[in-house]
């Protein structure tokens, strides 16, 4: 398997700038070889790219794209904290929160947008434990939020 930086190039993906915190928290905390990231919402070019509820405002495919945007933001934070994307040894845990309209129960399908992206970048090291959670609302009216835990090279 190629290095994550090579896979990003092959996939035509450039990590975004590291999003700035919008409240009283830090983007990441390292403990030993584990890197715990703060939740990332779908910021693109300084604004929320996907706002509102799923599926009321966004269908599953759009919500999967929102999950990918969140994941790329999370990877930008992780790469910055680890000293580069190639210093991320594996993805340990992914939690995907979906702003869900009443009765919506397909959060797992939305989370696949993030999961599949991680595997395409990291291969087997991108396979992770996961939770997909419905929420009545998310910060700044985001449709999706991603919470990521990574192991990094010591």
Is there a contact between 5 and 84 (Cβ–Cβ < 8 Å)?
yes
Q: Which three-class secondary structure state does DSSP give residue 37?
A: strand
CB-based contacts of 25, cutoff 8 Å, min separation 6: 38
In the chain, how many H helices and how many E strands? 3, 7
Name residue 90's beta-bridge partners.
Answer: 151
Token match 């009321």: residue?
56
pLDDT given for residue 77 in this prediction: 98
Per-residue pLDDT for the chain (154 aa), expressed as one digit of tens each? Answer: 689 999 999 999 999 999 888 889 999 999 999 999 999 999 999 899 999 999 999 999 999 999 999 999 999 999 999 999 999 999 999 999 999 999 999 999 999 999 999 999 999 999 999 999 999 999 999 999 999 999 999 8
pTM for the whole structure? 0.97
Q: What architecture does CATH give domain 36-152?
A: 2-Layer Sandwich (3.30)
- In sequence order, the β-bridge partners of residue 146 are 40, 96
Domain ranges of the chain: 36-152
Instruction: Tell me the C-alpha distance between 67 and 14, whole Å.
Output: 16
Q: Could you give the CA distance from residue 49 to residue 125 in angstroms, rounded to a whole number?
A: 28
């Amino acid at each position: 398997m190629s290095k994550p930086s090579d896979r990003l190039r092959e996939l035509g993906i450039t990590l975004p700038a590291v999003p700035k915190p919008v409240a009283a928290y830090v983007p990441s905390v390292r403990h030993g070889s584990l890197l715990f990231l703060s939740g990332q919402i779908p910021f693109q070019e300084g604004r929320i790219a996907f706002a509102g509820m799923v599926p009321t405002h966004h269908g599953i495919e759009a919500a999967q794209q929102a999950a990918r945007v969140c994941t790329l933001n999370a990877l930008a934070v992780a790469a910055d904290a680890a000293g580069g994307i190639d210093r991320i040894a594996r993805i340990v845990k992914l939690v995907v929160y979906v702003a869900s309209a009443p009765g919506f129960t397909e959060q797992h399908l939305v989370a696949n947008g993030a999961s599949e992206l991680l595997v395409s970048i990291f291969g087997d090291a991108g396979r992770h434990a996961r939770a997909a959670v419905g929420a009545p609302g998310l910060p700044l009216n985001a449709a999706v939020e991603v919470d990521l835990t990574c192991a990094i090279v010591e």
